Amino acid sequence: MVTGWQYRLVSTLGVLVLTVGAVAVANHPISQHLFTTYLPLFNRLEATVLTGQSLYWALALSVLAVGCCLVPLYKPQPRRVLDTTFLVQKRVLVAGFALASLGYFKWSHRLPRATLVMTIATLGVVLPLWFVWIRHNPDGETERTLVVGDDFEQIERIRASMTSPVLGYLCPSVVSIRGTSKSVEAAADGGITIVDDDTSAESGDHLEALPRLGGLSRLENVLLEHDVGTVVLAFHHADRAEFFGALDTCHNYGVDAKVHREYADSVLVSADNIGEIVDVDIEPWDPLDHLFKRVFDIVFALTAATALLLVITVVVIAIKIDSPGPVLYKQERTAVFGESFSVYKFRSMVDDAEADTGARISAEDAGNTDPRVTRVGRFLRQTHLDEIPQLWSILYGNMSVVGPRPERPELDTEIQSNGVDWSKRWFVKPGLTGLAQINDVTGHEPEKKLRYDLEYVRRQSFWLDLKIIMGQVWNVLRDVLELLRS
Question: The CATH number of the domain where 165 resides is what?
Answer: 3.40.50
192 pLDDT band, cuts 50/70/90, is: very low
DSSP-assigned beta bridge partners for residue 145? 166, 230
415: in domain: yes
Mean pLDDT of 385-389: 89
In the predicted structure, residue 272 carries a pLDDT above the cut 60? no
Domain identity same for 260 and 332: no
Mean pLDDT of 88-103: 90
Domain boundary among 230, 260, 279: 279
How far apart (Å, rounded) are the C-alpha atoms in residues 94 and 67? Answer: 11
140: in domain: no
Q: 90 lies in which domain range? A: 4-135
Residue 356, exposed/middle/buried by CB under 10 A (0-12, 13-18, 19+)? exposed
Domain identity same for 256 and 296: no
Domain identity same for 188 and 73: no
Domain boundary among 279, 301, 316: 279
How far apart (Å, rounded) are the C-alpha atoms in residues 431 and 51? Answer: 55
289 pLDDT band, cuts 50/70/90, is: low
Which segments of 151-222 are extended strands (E)?
166-170, 174-177, 180-186, 192-195, 206-207
Nearest to 91 by CA among 112, 114, 67, 115: 67
The identity of residue 74, as a single letter, is Y
Mean pLDDT of 246-275: 70
pLDDT in tens, 32-54: 888 888 777 676 777 788 888 88
Mean confidence (pLDDT) of the chain: 76
pLDDT of res. 292: 80
Distances 331 to 14, 189, 250, 328, 354 between C-alpha atoms, Å: 47, 51, 28, 10, 11
pLDDT of res. 358: 52
In the predicted structure, residue 204 carries a pLDDT above the cut 50? no
Domain count, the chain: 3
In the predicted structure, residue 424 carries a pLDDT above the cut 60? no
Domain identity same for 199 and 324: no
How far apart (Å, rounded) are the C-alpha atoms in residues 480 and 12? Answer: 60
Domain identity same for 128 and 160: no
How far apart (Å, rounded) are the C-alpha atoms in residues 264 and 17? Answer: 46
178 pLDDT band, cuts 50/70/90, is: very low
Q: Which residues of 378-389 are buried (b: 16+ CB within 10 A; e: fewer)?
A: bbbbbbbbbbbb
How far apart (Å, rounded) are the C-alpha atoms in residues 311 and 482? Answer: 19
Domain boundary among 253, 279, 305: 279
Domain identity same for 300 and 268: no
How far apart (Å, rounded) are the C-alpha atoms in residues 27 and 110? Answer: 14
